[in-house]
Structure 1
Amino acid sequence: MEQTIDRSRLFWASCLALLVTSLSFGIRAGILNELGTTFQLTASELGVITATAFWGFPLAVIIGGMVVDIIGMKRLLLIAFLFHLAGIIFTIFASGYWSLFLSTLLIGIANGTVEAACNPLVATIYPDNKTTKLNHFHLWFPGGIFIGTLIVFFFNKIGLGWQVQVATMIIPTLLYGYFFSRLTFPVTERVAAGVSTGDMYKALLSPLFIFMIICMFGTAITELFTGQWIDVLLRSVTDNALLVLTLTTGIMVLGRGLAEPVVHRFSPQGVLLISAALSVVGLYLLGHTSGNMIFVGALAFGMGVCYFWPTMIGFVAENLPRTGAVGLNFMGGAGMFAVSLYLIFMGGYYDNLVKSKIPAGISEAEAANLLAEARKAAGPEIINVTLVIPIILTVAFAGLVFYMRGRKKAVVA
């Protein structure tokens, strides 16, 4: 007898898997400085370790996107479960740079595999409401970061170390692995519609798809680089740098939860234009203000990046459906790959900025006294460099709004 597809349970199990992904981001962002101190790592080394998660993600999401139609979404998610469990355990028992590198890579691969399966899954089970449901699904990304930063904040207050903070991810990992092992999955939308593999790959050469891939570089860097490094960049500027990230992600959760009326009122491309403009305002305030005004900047920034990731993927799902699971996952892979390169570059750039602000020929004691001031100046400078990206995106998405007014909506078959 044919088993029934329970799309509600599939959706909530997907949200739980994404929660693990986002917890890894939030907790890692919160313990980054402590890892640097514990293992005597430079900002460049921390940048490479952080970037490793972003390498593993595109590797997994692109490969996963290419095989998901063959092996099925269920098998892919069970593979994600195994990688998550291994990565978390290896992180808890990390002893230095290379063990952190490996464990972060495993978690990155798991994170990418979750997206490789869950993005097409959500698009398949909600074919008439893709962008809204992808926003509802992706609210668990900032939601998990929000929870993760609170875990770090409160666990630090009561004296529980970073290993215990990382270990909290084991519980939702075991839960989503169990749920997915028990549920029945549909085939992907592209397979159900009978679009051939050849036609799917031809659709990837569409000028509109290539344009969206390029824009994904910028939207991902604007959102994820800033969020992942906020504690490093602003720690010397405010005593509550991690709470800036908590506020930003809290706004993102609320915004994505209310996505339906926003997307229907402004269209996906209209939402992207508004998001880019608000991101410009938010980053400008984060890079040019201090004190309580930083939290105003965080509020604007959170409203700006709120819809970026799910609406970019939702736009492709709605307007370029023939690209299938590969198209959705190429978008995610492109975004994470861009962030990984940017993290490495900016880690080195940050170190050089700090060094350039400490005069040569002074004693170690004098250099130590100047270090805090050097970091205080370097963090906002990094934010100001990143500000250029959403400015370019604002222009690009304005063009997209005008282009889409004259374009008919695509269909799968």
Structure 2
Amino acid sequence: MQTVERNKLFVASCLALLVTSLSFGIRAGIMNQLVIDFHLSTAELGVITASAFWGFPLAIIIGGFVVDAIGMKNLLVIAFVLHLAGIVLTVFAAGYWTLFISTLLIGIANGTVEAACNPLVASLYTDNKTVKLNHFHLWFPGGIVIGTLIVLLFNYIQISWQWQVAIMIIPTLIYGYLFSTLKFPVTERVASGFSTADMYKAVLSPLFIVMLICMFGTAVTELFTGQWIDVLLKNLTSNAILILTLTTGVMVIGRGFAGPIVHRLSPQGVLLLSAIISAVGLYLLSTLTGNAIFFAAIVFGIGVCYFWPTMIGFVAENIPQSGALGLNLMGGAGMFAVSIYSIFMGNFYDGLVLKYLPAGADLATYLGAEENTPMNQALNQAKSLAGPEVIRITLIIPIVLTIVFACLVLYLRSRNRIKPSPVLQTE
């Protein structure tokens, strides 16, 4: 009988998440080129970008409801097929709608990966969930670092954005093969004996609902800023995409050393400290210019480093009855919030740019202006003012999170936590 090889499953999970993050990093790096090639407005770009964040919550929430019934392995087969389809369609995109559909497919694949892999990691490491989820999720910023470096390298040697996207096919084929050969455990909730009724009761508990709402803020703080950094700060530095590379590089290192930090501070303590540092980082990004922006990127990277995996790990440790559904609702809530915020801020950013242009200006006319013309220079100046303003508005979110997480720390000091005994069974 085939046994569960948890280290191999963990490696395969990291590769699947690598594809997810490569799609994020490469898309962030080619956004301006897509605007040029397909004559997109920032609002249209916002809708295309948001489609990835629509597909993600759709897939992760549905996956949360069905994963116990169909198994994590079958979900990952679906993710593999959708990743291949989305990547190929992006490579051969012909305009707005093909970009929209391909990005949506990749978003659904990304959500399906997390729908299966978050409960998989929690089931494989029941005695160390938050730390191992941080180790797993370091491949999200890790893939963004790799993706942005690919963009920089390929742009330098003048290889088209289509090849930059196509390179994601390689890790996709590898993770698809690995998962097809391995035995999977059942989810932790099933192994622990919690009923479906227990699961639904847990996701309706006040603590879970508070964390779900907080996930809106932590995800927007991290992912919206990262995805839009090249657009928002491009006119303040010639290396805006390097800000994302530096930020995510800090996140990789931080998540790799999550163990002693989480054990010393507790998940809720980590979340409180992260909110404080994130607020400082966003403030610095919105005020500093030139090379000082890279210092701001380091501070911001430290702040958002632990948000996503620690939010999920907190639920896995403190509300284990919520099972895979609880973990996946958290991820879905985060991505849904980013999708809505991206659309809103895409339109808001265009409005700010128009506000800083001469009175009566037509934005479309300025967007079509040739390089180094007076209209183009006026547009660049307007963008250099609009980008930091968007970041300053986003700063409100981690400030509110700081207050909420401080209350959470005080609340949990007075609450006794009961953890189920770790059990590992197979599907």
Aligned-partner SS, 1:172: helix
Residue 368 of structure 1 and its aligned partner are, at CA, apart by 3.0
Q: Aligned runs of 1:195-214 on 2, under 5 Å?
A: 195-214=194-213
User: What residue in structure 2 maps to residue 149 of structure 1?
Assistant: 148
Q: Percent identity?
A: 70
Q: Aligned runs of 1:89-238 on 2, under 5 Å?
A: 89-238=88-237
User: What residue in structure 1 maps to residue 378 of structure 2?
Assistant: 370
Aligned-partner SS, 1:410: coil
User: What residue in structure 1 maps to residue 400 of structure 2?
Assistant: 392
Q: Distance in 1 between matches of 2:332 and 2:52?
A: 12
Q: Aligned runs of 1:21-100 on 2, under 5 Å?
A: 21-100=20-99
User: What residue in structure 2 maps to residue 277 of structure 1?
Assistant: 276
Q: Distance in 1 between matches of 2:397 and 2:295?
A: 20
1:97-125 CA-partner distances (Å, limit 9, x unpaired):
00000000000000000000000000001
| Residue 380 in structure 1 maps to residue 388 in structure 2 | yes
> Structure 1: 5+ residue runs without aligned partners?
none
1:149-184 CA-partner distances (Å, limit 9, x unpaired):
000001000000100000010000000000000000
Q: Distance in 2 between matches of 1:38 and 1:140?
A: 30
Q: Distance in 2 between matches of 1:312 and 1:257?
A: 16
Q: Distance in 2 between matches of 1:16 and 1:351?
A: 37
Q: Which amino acid aligns with 1:82?
A: V
User: What residue in structure 2 maps to residue 306 of structure 1?
Assistant: 305
User: What residue in structure 2 maps to residue 288 of structure 1?
Assistant: 287
Q: Which amino acid aligns with 2:42?
A: A
User: What residue in structure 1 maps to residue 244 of structure 2?
Assistant: 245
Aligned-partner SS, 2:237: coil
Q: Distance in 1 between matches of 2:11 and 2:31?
A: 30
Residue 4 of structure 1 and its aligned partner are, at CA, apart by 0.6
Q: Distance in 1 between matches of 2:310 and 2:296?
A: 22
Q: Distance in 2 between matches of 1:141 and 1:408?
A: 33
Q: State which drifts further: 32-41 or 364-373.
A: 364-373
Residue 412 of structure 1 and its aligned partner are, at CA, apart by 4.2
Q: Which amino acid aligns with 2:183?
A: T
CA contact (8 A) 1:358 1:367 kept: no
Q: Which amino acid aligns with 2:380?
A: A
| Residue 407 in structure 1 maps to residue 415 in structure 2 | yes
Aligned-partner SS, 2:74: helix
CA contact (8 A) 1:320 1:410 kept: no
Q: Which amino acid aligns with 1:166?
A: V
Q: Distance in 2 between matches of 1:13 and 1:308?
A: 23
> Structure 2: 5+ residue runs without aligned partners?
367-372, 422-427
Aligned-partner SS, 1:85: helix
Q: Distance in 1 between matches of 2:418 and 2:236?
A: 48
Q: Which amino acid aligns with 1:301?
A: F
Residue 127 of structure 1 and its aligned partner are, at CA, apart by 0.3
Q: Which amino acid aligns with 2:383?
A: R
Aligned-partner SS, 1:236: coil
Q: Distance in 2 between matches of 1:233 and 1:272?
A: 26
Residue 256 of structure 1 and its aligned partner are, at CA, apart by 0.1
Q: Which amino acid aligns with 1:367?
A: M
User: What residue in structure 2 maps to residue 325 of structure 1?
Assistant: 324
Q: State which drifts further: 198-207 or 356-365.
A: 356-365
Q: Distance in 1 between matches of 2:127 and 2:343?
A: 40
Q: Distance in 2 between matches of 1:317 and 1:361?
A: 54
1:368-390 CA-partner distances (Å, limit 9, x unpaired):
33111000000000000000000
Aligned-partner SS, 2:266: helix
Q: Distance in 2 between matches of 1:132 and 1:59?
A: 27
1:10-52 CA-partner distances (Å, limit 9, x unpaired):
0000000000000000000000000011000000000000000
Q: Distance in 2 between matches of 1:194 and 1:377?
A: 56
Q: Distance in 2 between matches of 1:27 and 1:61?
A: 22
Measured on the aligned residues, the alpha-carbon RMSD in Å equals 1.1
Q: Which amino acid aligns with 2:81?
A: L
Aligned-partner SS, 2:40: coil
Q: Distance in 2 between matches of 1:11 and 1:293?
A: 38
Residue 249 of structure 1 and its aligned partner are, at CA, apart by 0.2
Q: Which amino acid aligns with 1:352?
A: G
Aligned-partner SS, 2:179: helix
CA contact (8 A) 1:195 1:412 kept: no
Residue 367 of structure 1 and its aligned partner are, at CA, apart by 3.5
Q: Which amino acid aligns with 1:151?
A: I
Residue 359 of structure 1 and its aligned partner are, at CA, apart by 1.6
Q: Which amino acid aligns with 2:416?
A: K
Residue 192 of structure 1 and its aligned partner are, at CA, apart by 1.0
Residue 410 of structure 1 and its aligned partner are, at CA, apart by 3.0
CA contact (8 A) 1:280 1:390 kept: yes
Q: Distance in 1 between matches of 2:191 and 2:406?
A: 34
